[in-house]
Amino acid sequence: MGDVKVSKVMTAADAIGKFVPDGCSISIANFLHSTPFALIHELIRQKKKDLLVWSQSGIEELDLLIGAGCTKKIITAYNFRAGGEWANGEFDRALNEGRLEVEDLSNFAVLAMLWAGAMGYNFIPVLKGIRETDIFKISTILGGEKFKVVKDPFSGEDTVVVKGANPDVALIHVQRCDREGNAQYWGSIGNSKWASLACKKIIVSTEQIVDHDVVRFSPHLTLIPGFRVDAVVEEPWGAHPAEALGAYNTDYGFRAMFFMHNITAVSMQSFLKEWVYDCAGRAEYLAHYVERFGQAPLSRLRARTHPSYPADLGSANFSVWDERGYSEALGMTRSEFDQVLEKQGEVMEWEIEEK
């Protein structure tokens, strides 16, 4: 367990610099929304190399990482194609030029590998029909470390299992987090919990750092407990252009602009220069956004409030016994209660003796 008394707050540059060495494996938590773009841009700025990327379902973050030369290996179930089935972006260019290997899995298979890893299991069963598909038959990066067929010890039948995975570092973006890393996230959770907990290190970026008491008063919203977290990075708009529930919507205009840049290698590099390399961090990225497009387009993305109904975490009292040793619920003192227990004990013993 990490030391929960120590503040883990640091800059994105420090977190990525400290916990993501070249050649390590990373897991991008968040599923099509709340994508940790601030952290991903930092990977690119620091010119990380040879990262093995676990991505349940990727959009432009994969093109960016490939285009910046950060990764040649991606394990995934799905990568979004702007322009439909016949799209052509950095992902395709890299595949066609032999700069990229992709390991194909189904959504449940990716999730199951991370889930098993998070539980400390070596493997876990999946629906065995996958054995008949090419997802099972063809393997690239993982080789024989993907699926195996074993005997179900209960039914004696063949069952398909996937190997538990423990990537080195998770990147996740949440709505709020305290200094110790208790990360609170709400909305539909996708794969985020397992894609984080499976990893050896976890870097949390958060819209807002909140007081420790905020967590203490809403423990049911904590997705990743602080004892598992290694770094906390405060990054307002840290998921832009993706959506962060309760904070801002997806920026479709910006996303469309990216996809236009993604059409050629040259324009892709100019996007990286303008929006990643030439911005020292997320604050500069936002400043550049406002400079290019004005404040209005950004302000229009701000979420309108839609609060949830509060959950009452109260109880009648914290102990059955009050400070005088009396219980209102039982209508007796602790010593009277002990006497009842003793008597019942006698009764039971007496019944046993009778037999």
Partner 1 sequence: MAKEMKYTEPELLACTASRILENKKSVFVGTGLPMIAAMLAQKTHAPELFIIFEAGGLGPQMPVLPISVGDSRTFHRAVAASSMHDVMSASQSGYVDFGFLGAAQLDPYGNINTTMIGPYEEHKTRLPGSGGANDVGSFSQRTIIIMRQDKRKFVEKVDFLTTPGYLSGPGAREKAGLPKNTGPYRVITQLGVYGFNPDTKRMYLISLHRGVNLEDAKANSSFAFEVSDKLEVTEPPTEKEVRILHEEIDPVGIVLRK
Cross-strand partners of 224: 183
Q: Taking the CB of residue 199, how many other CB atoms lie within 10 A of it? A: 27
Q: Does 129 bind partner 1 (CB under 8 A)?
A: yes
Q: Does 188 bind partner 1 (CB under 8 A)?
A: yes
Q: What span, in angstroms and rounded, lies between the C-alpha atoms of 165 and 168?
A: 10
Per-residue tokens: 232? 């906390």
- Residue of 6, 14, 133, 145 interacting with partner 1 (CB under 8 A): 133
Between 10 and 204, CB nearer to partner 1: 204
Between 10 and 62, CB nearer to partner 1: 62
C-beta of 90: minimal distance to partner 1 in Å? 12
- Residue of 4, 24, 142, 245 interacting with partner 1 (CB under 8 A): 245
295-354 residues in contact with partner 1 (CB under 8 A) are none
Which of 228, 227, 220 lies closest to 170, judged by CA? 228
Q: Does 37 bind partner 1 (CB under 8 A)?
A: no
Q: Does 179 bind partner 1 (CB under 8 A)?
A: no
Q: Which residue has the tokens 């003793």?
A: 342
Q: Taking a C-beta distance cutoff of 8 angstroms, is the pair 267, 273 a contact?
A: no
Q: What span, in angstroms and rounded, lies between the C-alpha atoms of 218 and 123?
A: 34
Q: Does 115 bind partner 1 (CB under 8 A)?
A: yes
- Residue of 193, 200, 288, 334 interacting with partner 1 (CB under 8 A): 193
- Could you check whether the bond before residue 241 is cis, i.e. omega within 30 degrees of 0? yes
Q: What span, in angstroms and rounded, lies between the C-alpha atoms of 233 and 238?
A: 9
Between 248 and 271, CB nearer to partner 1: 248
Q: Which stretch binds partner 1 (CB under 8 A): 172-180, 243-251, 285-293, 340-348?
A: 243-251
Between 33 and 72, CB nearer to partner 1: 33
Written as one string, the DSSP assignment of 249-261 is ---HHHHHHHHHH
C-beta of 79: minimal distance to partner 1 in Å? 6
Q: What span, in angstroms and rounded, lies between the C-alpha atoms of 105 and 128?
A: 13
Task: Return the exposure string of 259-280: e unless at least 16 CB atoms fall within 10 Å of the residue's CB, then b.
Answer: bebbbeeeebeebbeebbeebe
Cβ neighbours for 46, distance < 8 A, ≥ 6 positions apart: 13, 16, 17, 20
Please tell me whether residue 151 adopts helix, strand or coil conformation. Answer: strand
- Residue of 175, 192, 206, 222 interacting with partner 1 (CB under 8 A): 192
Q: Which stretch binds partner 1 (CB under 8 A): 14-22, 29-37, 269-277, 326-334?
A: 29-37
Between 42 and 61, CB nearer to partner 1: 61
Q: Which stretch binds partner 1 (CB under 8 A): 19-27, 77-85, 169-177, 343-351?
A: 77-85
Q: Does 186 bind partner 1 (CB under 8 A)?
A: yes
Between 187 and 345, CB nearer to partner 1: 187
Q: Does 243 bind partner 1 (CB under 8 A)?
A: yes
State the binding string over 39-68 for partner 1 (x if CB under 8 A, else -). Answer: -----------------xx-----------
Q: What span, in angstroms and rounded, lies between the C-alpha atoms of 342 and 339?
A: 5
Bridging pattern class, strands 169-177 and 183-184? antiparallel
- Positions touching partner 1 (CB under 8 A) are 31-33, 56-57, 76-81, 85-86, 91-92, 95, 102, 104-109, 111, 115, 127-135, 138, 157-159, 186-194, 243, 245, 249-250, 252
